[in-house]
Amino acid sequence: MIDVVILAAGKGTRMKSALPKVLQPLAKQPLLAHVIHTAKQLHAERIITIYGHGGDAVKQRFANEQIEWVEQAEQLGTGHAVQMTLPVLGRSGFALILYGDVPLVSKATLQRLLDASKDSGIGMITLEVADPTGYGRIVRENGLIQAIVEHKDANDAQKQITEINTGIYCVSNEKLHQWLPKLSNNNAQGEYYLTDIVAMAVQDGLEIASIAPEYAFEVEGVNDRLQLANLEREWQRYQAEQLMRQGVHLIDPSRFDLRGTLSVGQDVEIDINVIIEGDCTIGDNVKIGAGCVIKDSTIASGTVIQPYSVFDQAIVGENNQIGPFARLRPNARLADEVHIGNFVEVKNTTVGLRSKANHFTYLGDASVGQDSNIGAGTITCNYDGANKFKTTIGDRAFIGSNSSLVAPVSIGNGATVGAGSVITQDVEANALAVERSKQFQKGNYQRPQKQK
């Protein structure tokens, strides 16, 4: 059984922000969200999160997660924080002690730590660094860990040690219940150090296991904006490398951001300054132009997306031609071989096979059939100021430029709408509709009211 204990009570003063530190975003997710996600991947029995400053905001942000919240009202050190969990911490199994501001430790690294700690009952992640200033030093004797000495308490010889403590531990719950009540604050900071459990383990004759992370950024913490930005770049560089190993052609991996998850096919090409957000799937031979933002969308094989197009919760079929400067909003669903051109916006609309809207068009709350052509400047007038209505356009329809289709309205199969028309009535199949009129005014007009 695994319990995950997350220390997330810090104020984050150096962030210069009203937002609690653990809610600061990395890859568009709060720092704490990354840690919780990893804990869930490990199938933790409990996720115990210690909160303090800004606790209400933190708890509200993760209200839908199965988390046991423990308050640390006074900031008396890491040992004191974990002490607060003892009333809810199990008596059996192991606890992984993690940090809400150390967001990127991987499942694989934590699994190795768990495996290494099972025999001795205690293990930790350590790291060799070129400059250990400010970090707790790992003191070894004959290769075995004997103690952790904080930088402010270290003597000159100990300050030369380059192996540091990351603060991430795996400890048997039984030992935590035994050791934590014995912590003392007799040190330079007057705090209860969690690191003192290492000396207790040595005193009990235990051999402390240790592992190193595969990547140094896994154990990097965030205390200010500079560290946050640097860690963002390291994470983005790592994700770009993983995608390129899968065969993705990133034109410049230093100018690519993945803020979620991405599943890709073969021979995908992504130009500079593209942002992928949420959960996205991209098929074979898709090309994405510079400056595009793709969020929670699926793009089928062979589709070409021209620069500066924006997708949000869209589903795109095969061999589409989209953009530049196109916008696909939630529930835009495009069939195969569709053309959506420059400055075209599609929202809550299905577009059928081989249909086209190539210029300056708005399609909202609509259905477009196969092989239809929507002329430049056409809009579906789906909103009367209070309620929304649907426009239906059949197969092989031709909508002339600068037309307004006032919903609810239906355009039949094979119908033609003359340019500049304001269509307020249904158009029969294979008919020509031209609707233009002089200005009409009605005094004391009452706008529609929202339907209940």
**Residue 328: both structure tokens together:** 């696909």
Please, what is the angle between helix 107-117 and helix 31-41, to 10°? 50
CB 288 within 8 A of CB 269: yes
Q: Does 21 appear as a known binding residue?
A: yes
Q: Is 99 annotated as a binding residue?
A: yes
Calculate the CA dihedral of residues 303, 308, 311, 316 and round it to 10 degrees: -10
DSSP state of 53: T
| 223 has binding-site annotation | yes
**DSSP letters spanning 272-296:** TTEEEEEEEEE-TT-EE-TT-EEES
Q: Confirm whether residue 73 is marked as ligand binding.
A: no
Q: Which residues pair with 65 in a beta bridge?
A: none
For residue 43, give both structure tokens. 């199938």
10 is in an annotated binding site: yes
- Does residue 380 have a known ligand-binding role? no
Determine if residue 101 is labeled as part of a ligand binding site.
yes
Q: Is 238 annotated as a binding residue?
A: no
Q: What SS3 state is found at 318?
A: coil
Q: Tell me whether residue 81 is annotated as binding.
A: no
- The reply, when asked if residue 112 is annotated as ligand binding, is no
Encoding tokens for residue 325?
């400067």
The annotation status of 296 as a binding-site residue, yes or no, is no
Cβ–Cβ < 8 Å for 84, 5? no
CA 219, 225, 229, 232 torsion-angle sign: positive
Residue 359 is a catalytic residue: yes
7 annotated to a ligand binding site: yes
169 labeled part of a ligand binding site: no
8 in a labelled binding site: yes
37, 53, 249, 359: which is the annotated catalytic residue?
A: 359
Residue 230 marked as a ligand binder: no
382 is in an annotated binding site: yes
Both tokens of 419, joined, read 């340019």
Q: Which residues pair with 118 in a beta bridge?
A: none
Residue that the structure tokens 């100990």 belong to: 158
**Dihedral (CA of 340, 345, 351, 357) sign:** negative
Read out DSSP for 71-120? E--S---HHHHHHTTTTTS-SSSEEEEEETT-TT--HHHHHHHHHHHTTT
Measured distance CA(219)–CA(106) in Å, rounded: 9
Q: Is the peptide bond before 408 cis (omega within 30 degrees of 0)?
A: yes
Instruction: Kindly state the helix (H) or strand (E) to which residue 228 belongs, with its residue range.
Output: helix 225-245
Annotated binding site for acetyl-CoA: 376, 382-383, 401, 419, 436
Q: Which residues are catalytic?
A: 359
Binding residues for UDP-N-acetyl-alpha-D-glucosamine: 7-10, 21, 72, 77-78, 99-101, 136, 150, 165, 223, 329, 347, 362, 373
Which residues sit in the known binding site for Mg(2+)?
Answer: 101, 223
Q: Residues forming the annotated binding site?
A: 7-10, 21, 72, 77-78, 99-101, 136, 150, 165, 223, 329, 347, 362, 373, 376, 382-383, 401, 419, 436
